[in-house]
Amino acid sequence: MVTDAFAWDAFTRRDRRYDGQFIGAVKTTGIYCKPSCPARHPLRQNVEFFATAAEARAAGYRACLRCRPDDVSRDERAVLAAIAAIKAAGQPLVLAALAEETGYSPSHFQRVFTRHTGLSPAAYARALMAERAAQALSNEGSVTEAIYAAGYSAPSRFYEGNQRRLGMAPSAWANGGKGAVIHWSVVDTSLGAMLVAATAKGVCRLSFNEGREALEARFPQAELSEGGAAFADLLGQVIAAVETPGDFGHIPLDVKGTAFQEAVWRELQRIPKGETRTYAELAAAVGKPRAVRAAGSANGANNVAVLIPCHRVIRTGGGLGGYAYGLEIKRKLLEKEAK
């Protein structure tokens, strides 16, 4: 269950992303609503929150006739059925066919699916295929065979669909970065020695108390080039972002992960400077409130510290939780941003 403060904030914003994640019940009317309910908001002291509609009914509340919160469970079932169909097919399916299976119109089902997963059905299928291809390419063997095994109709379709997402050439996944040039540098900051590395696409590694050996372990076949005039400008932007926390959105990134990990990373980037979220709130934000441990793992899999601000996630109750580079650095980052 998300915290009451987080739930009330989503409730006042009528945030559709959290429909199905919790229920708001109004004591003075005896009605329960989903977060996106368009009705006028009651006073905060008159609202309590429940994890499910069933819990609200058990407490004596009845469903709102305006937002129909009980329909959320139907939406969830429809999304799960569509995901199962996409996984079974191994490739994108026609939107109209998915909608027909669930009893929704194509346009409404597209909105429902996107609200629950953060991706359209087609984008979800493409992300799933790319994830399968990346996993296959991590093993020895033919790149072409891996592409076909992932569900692509031809190698050209894989290259077209993943050029931006993957950053390096697909063969680099199979060969430890072979063919990629990675510029890097270690600089002193107020947080300690910081490693910054970037491909032509953007920053692929930002960490503390690491050096060249960390890059060699991740990209053993890449060409590692220390410094460089073109890299200097990007490095300056990164240093400024770390020393004076603010908006990191202008700094290009070259990161990869599973569809779930990338959804978590997007939510991390949405956390405003000076604010924090709990692991439970992070899981709820990506539409997986029960996946708290998985959200924590995705948080820890972040390869570009600070720029994807995983340090802004703490334990329920206020404890700092973990941090790959030590709690002292995490504490300093949060203190910088609080100012």
pLDDT at 143: 54
Tell me: do 215 and 287 sit in the same domain.
no
Instruction: Give φ, ψ of 324 to 5 degrees.
Output: -60, -30
Q: Is 248 a domain residue? A: no
On whether residue 50 sits in a domain, the answer given is yes
Residue 31 pairs with which residues in a beta bridge? 26, 62
Q: What is the pLDDT of residues 163-212, one digit of tens each?
A: 545 455 555 555 677 778 899 999 999 999 999 999 888 898 999 999 99
What's the CATH number where 62 sits? 3.40.10.10
In terms of residue numbers, what domain contains 101?
A: 71-166
Cβ neighbors of 215 (< 8 A, separation 6 or more) are: 182, 184, 195, 197, 205, 222, 224
Task: Compute the average pLDDT of residues 28-36.
Answer: 93
Please indicate, yes or no, whether residues 197 and 223 belong to a single structural domain of this protein: yes
pLDDT at residue 140 greater than cutoff 50: no
| Angle value at C-alpha 221, between 220 and 225, nearest 5 degrees | 90
In a domain, 65, yes or no: yes
Average pLDDT over residues 128-150: 60
In a domain, 123, yes or no: yes
The answer on 162 and 103 residing in a single domain is yes
Q: What is the pLDDT of residue 132?
A: 67
Query: H-helix or E-strand containing 223?
Result: strand 223-226
What is the total count of domains within the chain? 4
* Contact criterion met (CB below 8 Å) for 322 and 333: no
250 in a structural domain: no
Residues 266 and 331 in one domain: yes
DSSP string covering 37-77: --SPP--GGGEEEESSHHHHHHTT-EE-TTT-TTHHHHHHH
Most confident of 110-119, 130-139, 247-256, 279-288: 279-288
Q: Give the number of other Cβ atoms within 10 Å of residue 76's Cβ.
A: 15
What pTM, to 2 d.p., does this model score? 0.56
Q: Which residue has the tokens 């006042």?
A: 12
Please indicate, yes or no, whether residues 293 and 234 belong to a single structural domain of this protein. Answer: no
Total length of the chain? 339
pLDDT at 144: 58
Q: Looking at residue 296, which CATH number applies to its domain?
A: 1.10.10.10
**Helix H segments across the chain?**
4-12, 53-58, 71-89, 95-102, 106-117, 121-137, 143-149, 155-166, 170-174, 212-218, 229-243, 259-270, 279-285, 292-300, 327-338
> Residue 64 — very low, low, confident or very high, per pLDDT cuts 50/70/90?
very high
- Give the residue from 138, 166, 194 where a domain finishes: 166
**Does residue 311 surpass a pLDDT of 90?**
yes
Residue 254 lies in a domain: no
Kind of pairing, strands 47-50 and 23-26? Answer: antiparallel
Residues marked as catalytic: 33, 310
User: What is the reported pLDDT for 107?
Assistant: 87
Q: Is residue 253 part of a domain?
A: no
Asked whether residue 121 carries a pLDDT value surpassing 80, the answer given is yes
Mean pLDDT over each residue of the chain, to the nearest integer: 82
Say whether both 65 and 77 belong to one domain.
Answer: no
Higher pLDDT, 133 or 223: 223
Locus of tokens 């990209």: 219
**What residues contact residue 336 under an 8 Å CB cut-off, 6+ apart?**
244, 245
Q: Are residues 89 and 145 in the same domain?
A: yes
CA dist 272 to 120, 168, 184, 251, 309, Å?
A: 25, 30, 28, 16, 10
* Confidence at residue 291, expressed as pLDDT on a 0 to 100 scale: 83
Same domain, 269 and 316: yes
Q: Are residues 35 and 59 located together in one domain of the fold? A: yes
Claim to verify: residue 230 and residue 263 sit in the same structural domain: no
Confidence of residue 218 (pLDDT cuts 50, 70, 90): confident
Answer whether residue 94 is part of any domain: yes
Angle at 29 between CA 27 and CA 31, to 5 degrees: 85
The mean pLDDT value for 23-43 works out to 92
Same structural domain, 79 and 145: yes
